[in-house]
Amino acid sequence: MTAEVTHPLRSDARDNRARILDAARTVFGEEGLGAPMREVARRAGVGPATLYRHFPAKRDLLTETFAEQRRVCRTAVREALADPDPWHGFRTVIEQICELHAHSRGFADAFMAAFPEVMDFAADREQSLRAVAELARRAREAGRLRPDFVVDDLVLVLMAHRGLQDTPRDARVAASRRYAAYVIEAFRAPGAVTPLPPAARLAGALTRTTQR
C-alpha cells in the first residue's frame, strides 16, 4: 500500500502498476523471492526505473504482491478455528498452508521469512501458530492428535516444506499434497488410518533444480 492518496495516478501509470503486480505474482510465485527485479520489469514490459518508482524497494513490491495470499491464509486459519471438528480443522489448515506455499514459492519464502528483513509476515505466522495451538489442544483432547505434538512441530514441518520449493511447479503441487498427507499421518494419534494422495515422481526433479 504505497500512499497514493496524494494524486490519483495517471491512466498509463495505473496500468503499468497493475501489470507490474501481475508480473510480480508470476515471477516471484514461480522463482521465489530471489528472482531479480529486472525480470519482473521485463515481464511487465516496463523499464526498471518505472518499477522502482512504483515500488521504491523490493520489499514494497513483495508486500503488495502477496497481500492477497496473506488474506487467504488468514481466512483459512479463521475458518479452521471455527470448525466444530478440531482435528478436521487442524488437518485442513496444514493442507491449505502447504497448498498456498506450493502455488507460490515467493509467498512460501516470505511466510517462512527467507528474507527476514523484508517484511513482517511474523504477524501472520503468530496468528496461525496461535490458532493451531488452540486447534491442537482441542484435537488432542478429542484423541485425534498424538499427545506428544507441540506447536513447534508445525513450524518444523512447514520449514521443511520449503525444501520442496526448488522443483517445477506441477511436481511441486503434487509433492506438496503428498507431503501434507504424510505430515498429517505423522501427527495423527495412533489408531485410525486414511489413504494418502497419489505419490509424486521426484527422482527426475533432483538433477534439474535451481540453486537456492
Can you give the binding site for DNA, defined by CB under 7 A? 7, 9-13, 15-16, 35-38, 45-50, 52-54, 56-58
Estimate the crossing angle of helix 86-103 against helix 151-161, to 10 degrees.
Answer: 30
Write each residue from 114 to 153 as x if it is in contact with a copy of itself (CB under 8 A), else as -, in one continuous string: xxx-----x--x---x------------------x-xxxx
CB of 12 to a copy of itself, least distance (A): 35
- Give CA angle at 58 (44, 9), nearest 5°: 55
Helix (H/G/I), strand (E/B), else coil: 200: coil
Alpha-carbon gap, residue 76 to 100, rounded angstroms: 10
For DNA, the closer of residues 80 and 110 by Cβ is 110
CB of 129 to DNA, least distance (A): 29
What residue 160 binds from DNA, a copy of itself, none (CB within 5 to 8 A, per partner kind)? a copy of itself
| Structural contact between residues 22 and 59, judged by C-beta atoms closer than 8 angstroms | no
CB of 167 to DNA, least distance (A): 20
Identify the H or E element spanning 117: none
Q: Rule CB under 8 A: is residue 179 a binding residue for a copy of itself?
A: yes
CB of 138 to a copy of itself, least distance (A): 19
Site for a copy of itself in 21-40 (CB under 8 A): 34
For DNA, the closer of residues 36 and 198 by Cβ is 36
CB of 50 to DNA, least distance (A): 4
DSSP state of 189: P
Helices (H), 83-202: 86-103, 105-111, 122-141, 151-161, 169-187
DSSP state of 1: -
Alpha-carbon gap, residue 128 to 74, rounded angstroms: 7
Residue 7 C-alpha from the chain's centroid: 33
Q: Which residues bind a copy of itself (CB under 8 A)?
A: 34, 112-116, 122, 125, 129, 148, 150-153, 155-157, 159-167, 175, 178-179, 182-183, 185-187, 190-191, 193, 195-196, 199-203, 205-209, 211-212
